Structure 1
Amino acid sequence: MPDLLFNLPAILAVPVRGTDARFPVYRIFCVGRNYEAHAQEMGTTADREAPFYFTKSPAALTLSGASVPYAPGTADLHHEMELVVAIGAPGFEIAPVRAMDHVFGYACGLDMTRRDLQNAAKDKRRPWDTGKDFENAAIIAPITRAAEFCGLADQRIWLSVNGEVRQDQTLADLVWSVPDLIADLSKYYHLQAGDLIYTGTPAGVGPVVPGDSLHGGIDGLDPVELAITA
């Protein structure tokens, strides 16, 4: 095998609650407009014919508890609190009734967004990449195994900034359920162990500035925390 010209950074692996095991990340899929109230605050409606997706590279992933600099190239960095689904078994064209067999576990996550860049891309009908996929754009807390979670129902999902609650809904408000998302996404991709699915954010998204402290939670999961520095 030929020598590599240089070494790439190691794959980030996410802690698994209660164990020394780590979950290596292969790909990151994100679901857009999966809470009706959030879609409305963005000036549109949720897509009920089919979910839609965008991606973030694994290089965008950062573990909960980090202090990260304010993202470059933006004057409008937003928080988006989300339930993250960790895929633990491969599958393609998965039936909804079998979708949960492919879930390893769940985590709290933040989909950080350069909103001004995203909006500019929307206006010009261009991809969202610069608005969504950048360093420290995908924050994740430790993963809880599916068997240790009480099942997806009406758990509260919320986020506070400097102690003030900004986002506060329940998982029952998801337009597309986790089984539906897995089944639909697996029509287009051969899902693999190591894939993460950020399932969408509730209403209440908004800007952060240097010095802000973010704390988000979902009932039954480890919270996600992030500090924004200069």
Structure 2
Amino acid sequence: MRASTNTESNVAVGDILLEAKGLSVDASWGHIFGPVDVTVRRGGVTVLVGQGGRGRTALLLTLAGRMKPTDGSLFAFGERRGAQHLFENATVAFINEVDGIQQTIRVSDIVTEQIRWSAPWYSWVTPATDEDLERICRPVFGDLTLPRMDAMVEELPELTAALFRIAVANVRKPALLVVGGVDNLNSIAASRHFLDRLIVLGREQTVITADVNGVELRDGIREAIEVPNLTDREFAVLEREAMSA
């Protein structure tokens, strides 16, 4: 499979959900990623193919409206407004900087908290039930086994934990779902099942994820796009030197 560079796209304008040109992000301590050109079409799963790390994470967060670009332009949902418009139409999952669960906590606590956040401010929210778990998680898990309500999140199998994080983040089902890299799972089988579930979600949403090795193009995957410039420049030079030694 040869991933598209996505720099000379002939995609119809009405089919474009996101279009980034010359997108870059810098921090006070240095360059994070960019410049990057990416066009994402509506629906299905778009896979960004590139080195994992803070640059790729920052790009995913920028495409979801969670990080403000330093340079370049970002066309999203038919507008070139600020990140707030994109933020309102997108959700992020399986990215530790956003939804990582650090402390020991039960599945039931996470589900209850998600219901509480989604409820009107004046509503009294009781502890979540198995019915709540089914309603929130089944669209993401499909035929796969749901986690038990009394299970500790940190002890869940990696695929179950990853899908659970998507489920609780995707309750609103906005138009755009941005998901951390498929290659963040250690098991090849788990990564395959994970991508299968993203393809199902892509039937009703536009899904963006990433994988350093790319993916085999098949039904439900709109495009696999090679994205350069995802590491800071100094690190990229050192990496090239190490590979050529």
**TM tier, smaller:** under 0.3
Q: TM-score, normalised by structure 1?
A: 0.25
When normalised by structure 2's length, the TM-score is 0.24
Identify the structure with the greater helix proportion.
2
Name the structure with the higher strand share: 1
Q: Mark the structure with the bigger radius of gyration.
A: 2
